Structure 1
Amino acid sequence: MTNLLIEAFKKAQDLPDYLQNELAEQLIQDVENELKWQQLLTQPQNVKLEELAAKALSDSMNGNTKKMGFDEL
C-alpha cells in the first residue's frame, strides 16, 4: 500500500462511521471499475476489427453495398 493511501485511510478513520462506509463503498466501486478497465484493455481488440473489415470487403465484392456520401448516411 502506498504512503498516500495510508494517509487517506488515517484521515478517514476520524470521520463518522456512515461517512467511512460511504467512502469505502465508493473506493470499492472505483477499484472494481479500474480492474475491469485494465482487463478489457489487455484483451486483444484486433480480432473483432478484422472480422468487421472482412465482412465489409465481402459485402463490397458481393455487391451488397452502395456508394454514399457523408450527407447521405
Structure 2
Amino acid sequence: MTELLQKAFQEAQKLADNLQDEIAQQLLADIENELKWQETLANSDTNLDILKQMAQEALIEDQEGKTEEKGFGEE
C-alpha cells in the first residue's frame, strides 16, 4: 500500500462511521470500475459496442447529475 493511501485511511478513521462507510462505498465502486476498464482495454477482442455502451452509461450518469465538472487530470 502506498504512503498516500495509508494517509487517506488514517484520515478517514477520524470521521464518523457513516462517513467512513460512504467513502468505502465510493472507493470500492471506483476500484470495480477501474478493474473493468483495465480488463476491457487488455482484451484484444473488445468490440466497439462495449465501448459505446460504456459511453452511453457515462452520458446517462452525467444527465442524472452523478458526475462532477473537472478539467483533464484534476482530482
TM-score, normalising length: structure 1: 0.61
Question: Residue by residue, what CA displacement relative to the aligned partner does 1:25-51 show, whole Å, maximum 9, x if unpaired?
Answer: 0000000000000000000147x58xx
**1:1-73 counterparts in 2 under 5 A?**
1-45=1-45, 48=47
Larger Rg: 1
Cα distance in 2 for partners of 1:8, 1:44 equals: 35
- Where do 4+ consecutive residues of structure 1 move more than 4 Å? none
Q: CA deviation at 1:12?
A: 0.3
Identity %: 54
Q: CA deviation at 1:18?
A: 0.1
Letter of the 1:25 counterpart: Q
Alignment: residue pair count = 48
RMSD: 1.7
Q: Between Structure 1 and Structure 2, which shows a larger proportion of helix residues?
A: 1
TM-score, normalising length: structure 2: 0.60
What does residue 68 of structure 1 align with?
none
Letter of the 1:23 counterpart: I
Structure 1: 5+ residue stretches without partners: 50-73
